């Protein structure tokens, strides 16, 4: 039986085994999927042991995405752009690395939330790994403009400069939070770590255009301070990152098995389990 896993530290909380079991049942695929706890200094050894034991591929979660990038001999363009890998596939040519996070975000926005990005004004908050992983897929969706905003402006500016060529005809700019005053956006995505600390990025009021969507990559915490603030400031639609989690998993499943599962029933069941 083909074996897959998610590797992380911690990893017991991961929803990936439940998600991939549902995908396998739905598509008639015969496989197992486990959660593997790797020592903080033993990621590569854990991957090697799993591969030797017949593993076909694995997802990678914190804090090992940079190590997975280094471990992959071949990488997808989106993994190369992100500088991080969350999906490994083992084949006769060695280890292939992909990053499905940004694609999962875009598919959740456009497919599940019916929020097309083409021609829309998009604000991406943060300049760390989560923002970097989302940038190329977001730019590929053809927004009218994309603004990067971060507490440390220089980090946002450096990220914008790095992706300038990939932006093509899409205006890509960077700023601090306070400098956003007076601007309006159709989609605001929180890729900062603020929600982990039960905080909201210090955004000026008036950012949300009529009908705007506020999206927090965090999930499982109810309305985060970012979403509470967004509702107060006029966001019409609010969403957490649970759909992104399911959609990035579907991207991994497609890479490994060559079939895209239906995500809607899996997402609905996860929301039921979380009481949302």
243: three-class secondary structure by DSSP: helix
Which value, to the nearest 10 degrees, does the dihedral of the CA atoms of residues 121, 77, 253, 187 take? -10
What are 251's strand-pairing partners?
A: none
240/102 Cα distance (integer angstroms): 14
**In the structure encoding, which two tokens stand for residue 249, read together?**
């998993």
222/227 Cα distance (integer angstroms): 9
Q: For the purposes of burial, counting CB atoms within 10 Å of the CB of 151, is it exposed (0-12), middle (13-18) or buried (19 or more)?
A: middle
Positions at the binding site for NADP(+)? 126-130, 150-155, 217, 241
Contacts of 225 (CB under 8 A, 6+ apart): 194, 195, 198, 199, 200
CA atoms within a 13 Å half-sphere pointing along the CA-CB vector of 133: 25
Positions at the binding site for shikimate? 14-16, 61, 86, 101, 219, 248
Q: Would you list the DSSP string of 147-166?
A: EEE-SSHHHHHHHHHHTHHH
CB neighbour burial string for 98-133, b if at least 16 within 10 angstroms, e if fewer: bbbbbbbbbbbbeebbebebeebbbbbbbbebbbbb
Q: Out of 65, 75, 78, 121, which one is annotated catalytic?
A: 65
Concerning whether 65 is annotated as a catalytic residue, the answer is: yes
Q: Would you list the DSSP string of 21-59?
A: HHHHHHHT--EEEEEEEPPTT-HHHHHHHHHHTTEEEEE
Q: Which residues are catalytic?
A: 65
């Amino acid at each position: 039986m083909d074996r897959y896993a998610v590797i992380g530290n911690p990893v017991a909380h991961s929803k990936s085994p439940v998600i991939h079991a549902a995908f396998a049942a739905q598509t008639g695929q015969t496989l197992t999927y486990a959660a593997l706890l790797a020592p903080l200094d033993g990621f590569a050894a854990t991957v090697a042991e799993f591969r030797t034991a017949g593993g076909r591929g694995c997802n990678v979660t914190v804090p090992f995405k940079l190590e997975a990038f280094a471990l992959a001999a071949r990488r997808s363009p989106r993994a190369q752009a992100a500088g991080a890998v969350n999906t490994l596939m083992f084949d006769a040519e060695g280890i292939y690395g992909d990053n499905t996070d940004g694609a999962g975000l875009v598919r959740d926005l456009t497919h599940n939330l019916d929020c097309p990005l083409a021609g829309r004004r998009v604000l991406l908050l943060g300049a760390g790994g989560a923002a970097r992983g989302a940038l190329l897929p977001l730019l590929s969706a053809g927004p009218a403009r994309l603004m990067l905003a971060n507490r440390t402006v220089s980090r946002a500016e450096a990220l914008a400069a790095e992706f300038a060529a990939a932006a093509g005809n899409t205006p890509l700019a960077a700023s601090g939070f306070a400098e956003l005053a007076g601007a309006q956006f159709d989609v605001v995505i929180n890729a900062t770590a603020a929600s982990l600390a039960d905080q909201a990025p210090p955004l000026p009021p008036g950012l949300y255009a009529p009908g705007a969507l506020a999206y927090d990559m965090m999930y499982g915490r109810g309305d985060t301070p970012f979403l509470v603030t967004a509702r107060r400031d006029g966001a019409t639609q609010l969403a957490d990152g649970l759909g992104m989690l399911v959609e990035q998993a579907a991207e991994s499943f497609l890479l490994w098995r060559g079939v895209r599962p239906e995500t809607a029933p899996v997402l609905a069941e996860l929301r039921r389990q979380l009481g949302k």
